[in-house]
C-alpha cells in the first residue's frame, strides 16, 4: 500500500478531500510549516500523525528542507502530496522526491504560475479557468501536468467566487489523481493534457494522460 505524506500550510480543504476519499493508499502523516494551520486539526480529527516544522526556525531553505526530508523518511512516505504548501522547495529536496511529489495549483498551467491566479484571470478577461495537478520539479509550477479541472468564468465572478469554484474542482481532481497513483493506473510516460467533456458545465470532466 502506497504511504502518502501531505504537506500543508493553511486551511487544508484539499487534505480533507483526500481524507474523505476512499483511497487505496494510506495517509501516514501531515506536515505543516505553520503551527496555526487548520489542516493540522483536520489531520488530528482523522487520527493521522502530524508534524510541525517551522521554516522560520531554520537558517536556510536547505536546512529546513533537510528536517522535512527526515520526517518524510521516518514516515516511510512513498508519495508526497503538496496541498496548499506555500514554500518554495530547494533543488536538493525536489531531486530527492522527483517523480514522487505532486502539487495542485489554482490555474490552468502553464498559465498563471505563482500567486493571485484568480484575480489575474479576471484582469485578463479569460473565459476559462481551473486547476492543475502536476509533478513537482525544480522550476516553480512547471512539472508535468497529470490532470486539469476546467470551469467557465462568469460575468458575475470575482476573485472570491472563482476561488470557491476552483476549490470544488480541486477537491474532485486531486483525490482522483492520487488514487490513480495509488492504484498504479497512471502512465507517467504519457504527455499532453486533454480536456474532455463539456466545458460549459460544472462539475467539469477531467482526464489523465
| Residues involved in catalysis | 105
* Interaction between residue 84 and ligand GAR (CB under 6 A): yes
Backbone angles phi, psi at 182, to 5 degrees: -60, -35
What is the greatest pairwise CA distance in the chain? 49
* Interaction between residue 83 and ligand GAR (CB under 6 A): yes
Neighbouring C-alpha atoms within 13 Å toward the C-beta of 77 = 28
Binding segment toward ligand GAR, per CB under 6 A, in 7-15, 19-27, 59-67, 87-95: 7-15
* Interaction between residue 14 and ligand GAR (CB under 6 A): yes
Neighbours of 103 (CB within 10 A): 23
What does the block give as the cell for 95? 531531486
What are the CA-CA distances from residue 67 to residues 4, 55, 192 (Å)? 18, 10, 35
Site map for ligand GAR, 20-39, x if CB under 6 A? --------------------
Count of positions on this chain that bind ligand GAR (CB under 6 A): 13
CB of 91 to ligand GAR, least distance (A): 18
What does the block give as the cell for 73? 523518511
> In the range 134-173, which residues lie near ligand GAR by CB under 6 A?
167, 170
Binding segment toward ligand GAR, per CB under 6 A, in 11-19, 46-54, 58-66, 89-97: 11-19
CB of 183 to ligand GAR, least distance (A): 23
Q: Which residues have CB under 8 Å from 140's CB, separation 6+?
A: 88, 113, 114
Measured distance CA(41)–CA(3) in Å, rounded: 20
Chain residues in the site for ligand GAR (CB under 6 A)? 10-14, 83-84, 104-106, 131, 167, 170
Amino acid at each position: 500500500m502506497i504511504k502518502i505524506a501531505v504537506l500543508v500550510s493553511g486551511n487544508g480543504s484539499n487534505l480533507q478531500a483526500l481524507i474523505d476519499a476512499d483511497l487505496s493508499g494510506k495517509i501516514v502523516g501531515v506536515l505543516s510549516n505553520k503551527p496555526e494551520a487548520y489542516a493540522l486539526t483536520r489531520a488530528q480529527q482523522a487520527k493521522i500523525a502530524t508534524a510541525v516544522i517551522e521554516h522560520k526556525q531554520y537558517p536556510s531553505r536547505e536546512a529546513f528542507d533537510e528536517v522535512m526530508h527526515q520526517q518524510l523518511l521516518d514516515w516511510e512516505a512513498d508519495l508526497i502530496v503538496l496541498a496548499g504548501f506555500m514554500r518554495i522547495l530547494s533543488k536538493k529536496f525536489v531531486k530527492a522526491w522527483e517523480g514522487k511529489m505532486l502539487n495542485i495549483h489554482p490555474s490552468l498551467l502553464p498559465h498563471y504560475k505563482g500567486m493571485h491566479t484568480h484575480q489575474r484571470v479576471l484582469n485578463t478577461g479569460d473565459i476559462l479557468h481551473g486547476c492543475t495537478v502536476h509533478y513537482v520539479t525544480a522550476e516553480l509550477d512547471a512539472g508535468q501536468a497529470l490532470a486539469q479541472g476546467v470551469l467557465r468564468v462568469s460575468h458575475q465572478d470575482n476573485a472570491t467566487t472563482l476561488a470557491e469554484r476552483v476549490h470544488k474542482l480541486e477537491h474532485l481532481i486531486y483525490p482522483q489523481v492520487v488514487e490513480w497513483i495509488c492504484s498504479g493506473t497512471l502512465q507517467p510516460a504519457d504527455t499532453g493534457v486533454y480536456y474532455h467533456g463539456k466545458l460549459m458545465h460544472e462539475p467539469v470532466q477531467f482526464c489523465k494522460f
